[in-house]
Amino acid sequence: CIDRMLLVHSLEHVENPRETLNEIWRVLSPAGRVVIVVPNRRGVWARFEHTPFGNGRPFSRGQLTELLREANFTPAAWSDALFFPPSPRRSMMQFHNVLERAGRRLWPIFSGVIVVEAQKRLYQGVPVAQRASRRVFVPVFSPQGATTLGRRADDPVPRAGG
């Protein structure tokens, strides 16, 4: 019965993210969407305890994708944010815009947070099983040196048409 759900820095603190996403899937309407903001595992912000992202479990894009797919969500849009490195100095705030733009261009993989919008998937496709081989392999037990089809080794090989 809920159309949109916003999870900002909550998925990294739950005990079982899979169960949380399953519950979110349950309460979302059929066309429901969820927006998730989590710390980036590769980012600098997740490495320092004095930042808001230093606690909890950071995620990579691959981990988040797998988690969403297991909970029957389809990731629709991805975004990265917070390229400015964490610093307790106020003087660094002067360079915030410059560092943010440079980070977006030079090292986008190391953003501070990952933002993903995912859509609820109602019908999950059944994976197609690989086609089994139609050939039936039957083991043939023949002693060493046995003749084939009742011929002896010294019989001439019959030729076609003659």
Q: List helix spans (H) across 42-155.
A: 61-70, 96-106
- Domains in the chain (CATH in brackets) are 2-120 (3.40.50.150)
**pTM greater than 0.85:** no
Unique residue bearing structure tokens 């560092």? 99
d(CA 84, CA 1): 38
Q: Which is more confidently placed, 106 or 35? A: 35
> In this predicted structure, what is the pLDDT of residue 119?
93
d(CA 7, CA 99): 27
Residue in 78, 65, 68 with CA at minimum distance from that of residue 21: 68
Residue in 84, 85, 68 with CA at minimum distance from that of residue 76: 68
Give the pLDDT confidence of 28-84 residue by residue, as tens digits. 999 899 999 988 876 666 556 656 666 777 888 899 999 999 999 999 998 887 776
Q: Does the pLDDT value for residue 147 go beyond 60?
A: no
Tell me the average pLDDT across 6-26: 91
